Amino acid sequence: MSYLSTLYPAYAEIFLLVMVCVILIVDLFLTNPAKTLTYMLVQLTLLGCALITVLTHQPGVVHLFNNMFVDDLMSDVLKLLSYLTVSMVLVYSRHYLIVRGLFTGEFMVLTLFALLGMMVMISASHFLTLYMGLELLSLSLYAMVALQRDSAVSTEAAMKYFILGALASGLLLYGMSMLYGATGTLEVAAVSDAIQHGVQNKALLTFGLVFIVSGLAFKLGVVPFHMWVPDVYHGAPTAVTMLIGTAPKLAAFAFVMRILVEGLQPLMTHWSGMLVILAVLSMAVGNISAIAQTNLKRMLAYSTIAHMGFLLLGVLSGGIDGYGSAMFYAVTYVLMSLGAFGMIMLLSRAGFEADTLDDFKGLNQRSPWLAFMMLLLMFSMAGVPPTVGFYAKFSVLQAVIGAGHIPLAIIAVLFSFIGAFYYLRIVKLMYFDAPESHVPISMQPDSGLLISINGLAVLALGIMPGALMSVCAVAVQQSLLLQ
């Protein structure tokens, strides 16, 4: 019992793994196509994980498993947000998947395995633990993209994602092996100490850093490692696209913080220069390419690339302001993406995917409330006040200017103006164009309520952003021990 009591920082992960096994077995004996019991068990599991994470929180930084696992405020906040995000994904996608015969036990179990991978990534303090969490997440997502076996588009997207993902994992692993060769350790804190005290082979260390940044760039989906993002977003079922585009971004943020900020902080002058190039290219390619898209999922894919470029600006700014603004940006991006993909699924029906821009024509005439919710989400993504997207961009720009990167801030503002065009075009289509279809919009009560909460939360957090911004800043400060 004394040994079990020392495992309390990992209780949430242990509970989730046990419940995945239970759900897998229970689902075998269920014949109801709606999978109501399995769905309720999954939601209860997420609630249980949230309660355990809150109850086992301890002030300060707690290490476990020979310093391979860390429990701190940043990890707990990101885990709680991940549970909430996955829960919202399941609520939004339930009816959409039932209609298409995809709401199966496999979908929900793979979702929970992906969540477990995210939790391991968020709490990893060792390069091997980080890699294990990343692979668990990635393998789950590869399978989910290919879940619609009869769809050639989904199968092609899954193949591209798998092959490019394997290449990126190889780059990351190769970089880690070089770091190990240069420093003699894979423990995040020990790597930082070894670099500070000087290493013999500086060239090996630099090459390792380049490979690691390349692997991280792929996982974030930033230019020039962005090729998979539009194809996977477009080819996967919208429910899977929503999952890929939301919760893993929180884990990817933690991944960047653990590797670059905690482990490779002494090399900041090297990796911040690389992030400048990745950020500028991502904002340029993402925003300009999105203008040409007629498919909403592809447009959101390119907008994701641009948003990740903006997030990198916060990371390369450094300090509490920079890292706190990057975390705030990641959280607000996830909230906005949930609403945008949720709206696509709400407007979809059996045999029809509402994923082109023309499908949103005249939405105000068909449903004024849904049009208003989409307007709030698009305004937020464009960074229009008083939505939360404006304050997310503003906080990153403040950090960038505070770090002395004024030319970068000017470039970011210019590309934000370009990006505003394709978001506001959707608002124009909804309010000023005639609808192409007059089929009544039928919504499930739970998803209808959730889209309303989602849209209003974007507005409320924009009017009162202080609390969330403070949580992000304090979480980063306490976890990374910044002064």
* 366-376 per-position pLDDT tens digit: 888 888 999 99
Q: 211: which residues sit within 8 A by CB, 6+ positions away? A: 171, 172, 174, 175, 178
Q: What pLDDT score does 28 carry?
A: 85
Q: What pLDDT score does 481 carry?
A: 64
* 269-284 per-position pLDDT tens digit: 888 888 899 999 999 9
pLDDT-derived band at 243, boundaries 50, 70, 90: very high
Which helix or strand (DSSP H or E) is residue 69 part of?
strand 69-71
What the block records as the tokens of 43 is: 């939601």
218 within a domain of the structure (yes/no): no
Q: Cα-atom radius of gyration of the chain, to the nearest Å?
A: 22
344 within a domain of the structure (yes/no): yes
Best CA proximity match to 251, nearest among 68, 129, 423: 129
What is d(CA 384, CA 419) in angstroms, rounded to the nearest whole number?
11
Q: What pLDDT score does 316 carry?
A: 87
210 within a domain of the structure (yes/no): no
Is the predicted pLDDT of residue 181 greater than 90, yes or no?
Answer: no
pLDDT-derived band at 483, boundaries 50, 70, 90: very low
Going by their DSSP bridges, the two strands 62-64 and 69-71 should be labelled as antiparallel
User: Whole-number mean pLDDT of the chain?
Assistant: 87
What is d(CA 471, CA 477) in angstroms, rounded to the nearest whole number?
10
32 within a domain of the structure (yes/no): no
356 within a domain of the structure (yes/no): yes
141 within a domain of the structure (yes/no): no
171 within a domain of the structure (yes/no): no
Q: What pLDDT score does 153 carry?
A: 86
Task: Answer yes or no: are the C-beta atoms of 334 and 249 closer than 8 Å.
Answer: yes
* 285-328 per-position pLDDT tens digit: 999 998 988 888 899 999 999 999 999 998 888 788 888 899 99
Give the max Cα distance, the chain.
70
Q: How many distinct structural domains can be found in the chain?
A: 1
What is d(CA 238, CA 295) in angstroms, rounded to the nearest whole number?
12
Q: What pLDDT score does 44 carry?
A: 94
354 within a domain of the structure (yes/no): yes
* 423-454 per-position pLDDT tens digit: 999 999 888 888 777 777 777 788 889 999 99
Query: What's the length of the chain?
Result: 483
* 128-168 per-position pLDDT tens digit: 899 999 999 999 999 999 888 888 888 888 898 899 888 88
Q: What pLDDT score does 4 carry?
A: 67
Q: Which domain holds residue 353?
A: 273-483
Whole-model pTM? 0.92
Axis crossing angle, helix 466-479 with helix 319-347, rounded to the nearest 10: 130
DSSP 8-state secondary structure symbol assigned to residue 292: T
Task: Answer yes or no: are the C-beta atoms of 198 and 266 closer than 8 Å.
Answer: no
Mean pLDDT, residues 458-466 taken together:
89
Q: What pLDDT score does 349 carry?
A: 75
* 76-117 per-position pLDDT tens digit: 999 999 999 999 999 998 888 888 888 888 889 999 999 999
Q: What pLDDT score does 47 carry?
A: 94
Q: What pLDDT score does 2 carry?
A: 59
What is d(CA 474, CA 86) in angstroms, rounded to the nearest whole number?
24
Mean pLDDT, residues 459-464 taken together:
90
Q: 445: which residues sit within 8 A by CB, 6+ positions away? A: none
Is the predicted pLDDT of residue 477 greater than 90, yes or no?
Answer: no
Best CA proximity match to 336, nearest among 416, 249, 417: 249
Counting other chains too, the contacts that 163-166 makes at CB distance below 8 Å and 24 or more residues apart are: 164/218, 164/227, 164/228, 165/138, 165/218, 165/228
What is d(CA 321, CA 341) in angstroms, rounded to the nearest whole number?
30
In 10 A of CB 48, how many CB atoms? 15
Mean pLDDT, residues 2-25 taken together:
84
